[in-house]
Amino acid sequence: MKTQIKIPTVGESITEATISQWMKKNGDMVKRDEVLLMLETDKASVEVVAETAGKLSIAVNEGQTVAIGSVVGEIDSDGVGATASAPAASADVKPAPKPQAPPIPAKGAAPAAAAASGGDKPLSPAVKKLVTENSINTAAVQGTGKDGRLTKGDVLGVMNRGEAQAPAAAAAAPALKVSTPTPLPKAKTQGGGNETTREPMTKIRQTIAKRLVEAQHNAAILTTFNEIDMTNVMALRSKYKDSFEKKHGIKLGFMGFFVKACIEALKAYPKVNAYIEGTDLIYHHYYNIGMAVGTEKGLLVPIIKNAEALSLAEVEMSIKHYADKARDGKISLDDLNNGTFTISNGGVYGSLMSTPILNPPQSGILGLHKIEERPIAVAGKVEIRPMMYVALSYDHRVIDGAQSVGFLVKVKECMEDPARILLEI
């Protein structure tokens, strides 16, 4: 019995998907519920599993975009049937022999001296050796020895002065100093300096590009900055990280603190948790915090739903859960929907300062950066403290400058005095 492999419905408004990878090869035997292929839509990656066991026949190759409901292969549960196996390599085809490198010419001997003696005067063995090794034209050198013979000092003097000696045959011609231009260095390339590679954008990358441009065009984006002294929260983390992990089975990071600090700031400045719909402002009375996660396929923003109702440990568990799903390509559409505010941590890549772009239709996004020790003034004294720059990009149509600054100050206060998070003040 043959069972068709069809592209399933993967979400509302999604009409097509791209086959990003076949997990099995053409002709392989597969088991029921085994993952056959990975689909990539404009929002997420989706696994397609086998409905039955049998022999796999692939009809559509990787990289092709197909409509929802299309047949991309079949499974023959009897292990027999038409399977489009790849043609075997011809036994008559032999690899081309490697080209033989041209023979290397024998290294020639050093040129002999243009003249073995100064005129008819013989040279001593030591002088002759210097003349031969340095190609000195003895006819152009005035000897100072007995009967005008060349001495070792005469030859060394020529060498020290750096005088180029013309060959004896051209001794009568006036010496011309010719300047030779320095050759240009040649870049070492892998087969040419003008090579390019064309690669089609994935559905996810196309959507990311489209949304980023829409955000720039459709919102009045401004960014305000502040800096946070991380001393107290780092001390708190260092003190309790071992017992926290032992009790909850999850590491205590800084992101959980930032999520909780943002919730307190969103409560104080509700417009940052709102968005524009037509001519209305829609206020959210819940806090779905998006956590930007970098993956090989691009930036994904899974949502921690109702984060205000979660403990710090539950927030940390949620962050790890969604980060793992995103990097494994198993994020679902529901994981990415209905965010009200986003946090993006460029500090994990070493970023010191940046201006994050809004995640539409949200009105605010907080950018975190690298923690770096810097000298700051504390009670009239200069101290070295672990500091972090933070940036809030916001839609100025919704949020005024005073509100954006106040929001960021609230986050700063909560992080510099973590007890505020617990007390919700």
Please list, in sequence order, all residues whose beta carbon lies within 8 angstroms of the beta carbon of residue 166, skipping any fewer than 6 positions away.
114, 137, 140, 173, 175
Q: How many CB atoms lie within 10 A of CB 159?
A: 13
Annotated active-site residue in 147, 154, 400, 417: 400
DSSP 8-class letter at 287: -
Residue 400 known to be catalytic: yes
Sign, CA dihedral 160-163-168-171, equals: negative
In angstroms, rounded to a whole number, what is the distance separating the alpha carbons of residues 395 and 358? 8
Q: Please give the full DSSP string across 15-65, using - where no structure is assigned.
A: -EEEEEEESS-TT-EE-TT-EEEEEE-SS-EEEEE-SS-EEEEE-S-TT-E
Contact 396, 220 (CB under 8 A): yes
- 351 Cβ contact list (under 8 Å, min separation 6): 369, 370
369 classed as catalytic = no
Give the angle 114-117-121 at the CA atoms, nearest 5°.
160
CB 137 within 8 A of CB 163: no
Q: State how far the Cα of 287 lies from the Cα of 306, in Å rounded to an integer.
A: 5
For the chain, counts of helices (H) and of strands (E): 9, 18
Cα separation, 100 vs 95, whole angstroms: 15
Exposed, middle or buried, 420 (CB in 10 Å: 0-12/13-18/19+)?
A: middle
The letter for the amino acid at 166 is A
Question: DSSP character for 139?
Answer: G
Return d(Cα 200, Cα 188) in angstroms, integer.
Answer: 28
| Distance, CA of 80 to CA of 41 (rounded, Å) | 33
Residue in 217, 229, 396, 417 annotated catalytic: 396
Q: What is the helix (H) or strand (E) element at residue 341, kind and residue range? A: strand 341-345
- Rounded distance, CA 260 to CA 316, Å? 11
DSSP 80: -
Where in the sequence numbering do the catalytic residues fall?
396, 400
